[in-house]
Amino acid sequence: MSRYFTEDHEWIDVDGDIGTVGISDYAQGQLGDIVFVEVPDDGRRIAKGDEAAVVESVKAASDVYSPASGTVLEGNPALVDDPSLVNSDPEGEGWFFKITLSDPAELEELMDETAYAAFVAKL
């Protein structure tokens, strides 16, 4: 499985043609305590860069953008009941949605973990 990051602090884990999307630990730290998450509907077609989900914290509301194009397989149902999973496990159980990738070549434009760590270090 490969993990990629965007400059907007989303990550995508890729296994074959399935991508699991969430926000980075850095992003959840900037947002603070997460109080609400809205995930995309199953079957929704999204393009790379589209607003795909919404996350609200005690500080602000923020859009979560899709790092790649595809069709939503499922939103994370656990986040509806427990949005704080985004704080406690942002790069694991706090994932937002899974998509079937329509153009895996788009991943080449994203950062790997090393490049993302260097990007965050400059912020």
Contact 74, 97 (CB under 8 A): yes
Quote the domain boundaries for residue 7: 2-110
How far apart (Å, rounded) are the C-alpha atoms in residues 105 and 29?
Answer: 30
Q: Identify whether 121 is part of a domain.
A: no
Instruction: Tell me the pLDDT tens digit for each residue of 5-40.
Output: 999 999 999 999 999 999 999 999 999 999 999 999
Q: Identify whether 47 is part of a domain.
A: yes
Q: What is the number of domains present in the chain? A: 1
- Checking if the pLDDT of 1 tops 90, the result is no
pTM of the model: 0.97
Q: Identify whether 73 is part of a domain.
A: yes
Q: Which two tokens stand for residue 109?
A: 């434009």
Residue 4, CA distances (Å) to 41, 81, 113 in order: 23, 27, 7
CATH of the domain at 67: 2.40.50.100
Cα torsion at 109, 94, 15, 120 (round to 10°)? 30
Task: Categorize the per-residue pLDDT at 46 as very low, low, confident or very high, splitting at 50, 70 and 90.
Answer: very high
